[in-house]
Amino acid sequence: MPVLTEIAKNYLIKVPFIKRMAKKRHVTGFNQSEEGVQTIYDTYKRFTGFEGKNIIELGPGHTWGPAKKMKEAGAASVSIIDIERYIPDSVQEENPWLNYIIYPGGAMPLPADHFDLVLSYTVYEHLRQPETTIRETYRILKKGGMAIHLIDLGDHMYFKIDPAKQFNCLKYGSKTWDLMSRNRSIYVNRIRLSGWRQLHQQAGFSIAEEIPYIDEYSRELYEKGQLQYLSPLKSEDRFASNILLVVRK
Q: Whole-angstrom Cα distance, residue 116 to residue 248?
A: 10
Confidence of residue 23 (pLDDT cuts 50, 70, 90): low
CA–centroid distance for 56 within its chain = 14
- For 148-202, how does the pLDDT look when each residue is reduced to its tens digit (9 = 90+)? 999 999 999 887 789 999 999 999 999 999 999 999 989 999 999 999 999 999 9
Full set of structural domains in the chain with CATH? 2-152+176-214+241-248 (3.40.50.150)
Question: Can you list the positions of beta strands (E) in 95-230?
Answer: 98-102, 115-121, 141-152, 206-214
CB atoms within 10 A of CB 88: 11
- For 108-125, how does the pLDDT look when each residue is reduced to its tens digit (9 = 90+)? 999 999 999 999 999 999
User: CA angle, 126 as apex, 150 and 112 as ends, to 5°?
Assistant: 70
Q: Whole-angstrom Cα distance, residue 80 to residue 57?
A: 5
